[in-house]
Amino acid sequence: MQSLLGTKQQQVSTRAAARCAAVYDRPAGRLGFSLAKCRLLGSALQSRAARLRPLQSALQEISADVVIIGGGPAAHAAAVYLGRAELEPILFEGWMANGIAPGGQLTTTTYVENFPGFPEPILGGDLCDRFRQQSLTYGTKIYTETVTKLDLLGGSPFKMWTDSKAITANAVIIATGAAAKRLKIPGTDEETGFWNKGISACAVCDGSSPLFRNQPVGVIGGGDSAMEEAGFLARYASKVYVIHRFDYLEASKVMQKRARANPKIEIVWHHEVLEAYGKEDDDCLGGVVLRDNQTGKVRKLPLSGLFFAIGHAPATKFLGGQLELDEYGYIVTAPDSTATSIKGVFAAGDVQDRKWRQAITAAGSGCMAALEVERYLAEKENPGSRSFDDGGEVAPGANWGSSGTAAAGPSGQQVAVAS
Ligand SMILES: Cc1cc2nc3c(=O)[nH]c(=O)nc-3n(C[C@H](O)[C@H](O)[C@H](O)COP(=O)(O)OP(=O)(O)OC[C@H]3O[C@@H](n4cnc5c(N)ncnc54)[C@H](O)[C@@H]3O)c2cc1C
């Protein structure tokens, strides 16, 4: 593998191969990443201090025109727009909220290669640090605290709480993201296993890397996302094994048909992954140990890649059912808009996007949310006014965007009405 590292271009094209070593043996110049770690440590101490604070101590009261909840690309894109609009947003980036570090899901990956503006791969942690720095530059106040409770049904100004603060805001952007579900299988974690060294939870993000090209890879799952990920991986891998514990798939018929018709995809029926093991010559994934659920027989399957495709968990539990969610727990937003079922509350990024789930789409919707907040606040202050001319139609009093309609639901909140 090392012999491939010749020219600069080759270094880039073999970056995935270098990932395995890079995760633990990163060049000293990667200051951003260590800064991220320092920040995490600082936040840990801060959060511990907050926990140790006597319960009876009063909560600090703060207020803002707009509060952003979340710390990934969606939240920071919104923060940059709102900061530049001089709305002095406050952003709660959370502390291990939904199991994810401040910075969001990109902190769980190594190199990001598909975010515009970075012709060279950039470490996920470094990219998150840059998002954060840009938000600070344009005047966002960031707290490394998790919003644990909200009162949205009472309308604007909305109330929300962290362990140490009681906050009011005229508008709220929820950008709390989602977490890719993973199974607790020995050998698949980041500390001692092969996470980011062949194991991932995002085929679209990582599947085209040289590490997996013309190599056998596995996908764990049996639903639509497993079929979709398998189809994507089949473009690059020599073989894709869909490892599924049952002898039937949960995927839709059309997705099943497509996967079964692909000569590179093989479904390994009624098998479970017991553990992942490494290659002999480097510290990348070498394969998995499988158990046949019907016979109990155990065997090894050599793989260079393993992808969890068992769904995502959007971070919406803390909303306490106040916003309309879809059947999978994602926030429902109006078509072509980030407006939620409550006027003045907007949602951006993966928390409202079950389909695309990419950093760039999250950032794009963060921008939309910020512009919609600007318009909402301007309209609130001067009914009939607009902060910018979008040429769209917004029904007076309705939170939904131009292509949806709205009606009052229980507790007075706005709920979707099929158009
Ligand atoms: C392993 C992996 C690799 C990936 N690689 C790529 C890639 O190469 N390119 C790409 O474009 N996309 C990639 N993605 C997808 C990308 O990371 C997501 O689409 C993107 O991060 C979503 O951004 P977001 O802002 O919506 O939310 P997230 O990134 O999920 O961030 C949400 C943040 O909000 C915080 N939060 C949650 N609840 C609260 C609360 N109550 N209070 C305060 N904070 C809270 C969370 O802790 C988290 O930090 C990858 C994803 C994974 C899992």
Q: What are the residue ranges spanned by the domains of the chain? A: 1-57, 59-179+316-381, 199-310
Q: Where is pLDDT greater, at 243 or 6?
A: 243
**CB of 375 closer than 6 angstroms to any ligand 1 atom:** no
Q: Which residues contact 97 (CB under 8 A, 6 or more apart)?
A: 146, 147, 176, 315, 318
State the DSSP H helix or E strand holding residue 216, giving kind and residue range, or none if neither.
strand 216-220
Q: Which pLDDT value is given to residue 99?
A: 86
Of all residues in the chain, what percent carry a pLDDT higher than 90? 71
- Among the listed ranges 60-74, 100-114, 136-150, which one has the minimum average pLDDT value? 100-114
- Does residue 11 have a pLDDT over 50? no
How far, in Å, from the CA of 258 to the mean position of ligand 1?
29
What pLDDT, in 10s, does the model give residues 145-195?
A: 999 999 999 999 999 999 999 999 999 999 999 999 999 999 999 889 999
Of 332, 328, 279, 329, the C-alpha closest to 306 is: 279
Tell me whether the CATH fold assigned to 59-179+316-381 matches the one assigned to 199-310: yes
Q: Where is pLDDT greater, at 340 or 37?
A: 340
The CATH class of 199-310 is: alpha beta
Span 399-406, mean pLDDT?
A: 39
- Does residue 47 have a pLDDT over 70? no
Span 77-101, mean pLDDT?
A: 96
Q: Which pLDDT value is given to residue 406?
A: 38
Q: Which pLDDT value is given to residue 110?
A: 84
How far is it, in rounded angstroms, from Cα 323 to Cα 338?
13
Strand pairing partners for 165?
60
How far is it, in rounded angstroms, from Cα 344 to Cα 169?
10
**CB of 75 closer than 6 angstroms to any ligand 1 atom:** yes
Of 24, 211, 9, 33, the C-alpha closest to 120 is: 9
Report DSSP letters for 284-343, one per residue.
SEEEEEEEETTT--EEEEE-SEEEE-S-EEES-GGGTT-S-B-TTSPBP--TTS-B-SST
Q: Into which CATH architecture does domain 59-179+316-381 fall?
A: 3-Layer(bba) Sandwich (3.50)
Position 342, amino acid: I
What pLDDT, in 10s, does the model give residues 251-290?
A: 999 999 999 999 999 999 999 999 999 999 889 999 999 9
How far, in Å, from the CA of 74 to the mean position of ligand 1?
8
The token pair that represents 86 in the structure block: 């001089």
Query: Which of 105, 110, 167 best tests ligand 1's pocket when mutated (most atoms within 8 Å of CB)?
Result: 105
**CB of 94 closer than 6 angstroms to any ligand 1 atom:** yes
- Does residue 28 have a pLDDT over 70? no
Q: Which pLDDT value is given to residue 383?
A: 85
How far, in Å, from the CA of 349 to the mean position of ligand 1?
8
**CB of 102 closer than 6 angstroms to any ligand 1 atom:** yes
- Does residue 12 have a pLDDT over 60? no
**CB of 315 closer than 6 angstroms to any ligand 1 atom:** yes
Of 98, 97, 106, 101, the C-alpha closest to 77 is: 106
- Does residue 66 have a pLDDT over 50? yes
Look over the chain and give the mean of its residue pLDDT values, rounded to a whole number. 83
pTM: 0.78
**Omega of the bond prior to 157 within 30 degrees of 0, cis?**
yes
How far, in Å, from the CA of 106 to the mean position of ligand 1?
6
The token pair that represents 141 in the structure block: 């106040």
Ligand 1 atom closest to Cα of 75? 25
Q: Which pLDDT value is given to residue 20?
A: 52
Query: Which of 46, 91, 176, 189 best tests ligand 1's pocket when mutated (most atoms within 8 Å of CB)?
Result: 176
Q: Which residues contact 218 (CB under 8 A, 6 or more apart)?
A: 240, 241, 242, 243, 268, 273, 288, 301, 303, 305, 306, 307
